[in-house]
Amino acid sequence: MSLVVSAMAPLDTWAESSEPSTQAHLELRGLYSQICGTCVVLRKHNPYSAPTELGLQVYGDYLPFAFKTPLGVLHVGPYGSISMIGEIGKISTGLAMTLRPESTSWEIFTQTGARYTSETMSYQYSGKPGAQGKTAFNLAIGARFYLNNHWYIPIAWEHDSNGSHVGVPLSEKDRSQNPGVDYIVVGFGRMF
């Protein structure tokens, strides 16, 4: 089945399609960011003193590989995003995956890759200054809720970290600079 045919089919027919097809997504997202936002959830407080920031992100992916699984159709391919958070620019790229259960109007998505920012993100930890490095790993998980065959609302949690807390720092310099940055993401998107 071609991309055009699957995109034009009714939503329930598309979800039950016998032939998975290529997907692409384009999204405009709003971001709410906080240094070590997971600290609030995991430790009930945030030891890092840093302002929360609002931002905008343009996200796109192209998922040419599709597989039927017992849980639904799995799509895999590259993604990229460009963000502005306060005065800091951020570029991310890597691998994206979506899983859409049959006969549903929603799907789960995840992305993992690398990000680069134009500036370091400053913070205070126990009164000592620090900075999140310019390079980091990027991870996100979320869901897309389809309004019709093309348009949807994505909601996600995104995290940037240099990896030192899990034993894979990007550099020796990064070992002591890993509060991570967490984002709550809400947007509007279109599937092609």
pLDDT below 70 — which residues of the chain? 1-20, 35, 37-51, 120-133, 163-179
Q: What are phi and psi of 20, to 5 degrees?
A: -60, 145
179 class by beta-carbon count within 10 Å (0-12 exposed, 13-18 middle, 19+ buried): buried
Structure tokens belonging to residue 154: 């994505």
pLDDT in the model for residue 16? 45
pLDDT in the model for residue 14? 41
Burial 11-44 (b: 16+ CB within 10 A, else e): eeebbebeebbbbbbebebebebbbbbbbeeeee
Provide the whole-model pTM. 0.77
Nearest to 185 by CA among 56, 38, 52, 11: 56
Q: Is residue 144 within 8 Å of residue 154, measured between CB atoms?
A: yes
Structure tokens belonging to residue 55: 């931002």
Where do we find the tokens 């997504």? 25
Decide if domain 27-180 falls under CATH 3.30.360: no
1 CB neighbour count, 10 Å cutoff: 14
pLDDT in the model for residue 169? 53
Q: What are phi and psi of 166, to 5 degrees?
A: -110, 15
**Where along the chain do its domains lie?**
27-180
**Type and span of the H or E element at 13:** helix 11-15
| Cα-trace Rg, the chain | 18
> What sign does the CA torsion over 107, 33, 86, 96 have?
negative
State pLDDT tens for residues 35-55: 676 665 655 655 566 667 889
Burial 92-107 (b: 16+ CB within 10 A, else e): bbbebbbbbeeeebeb
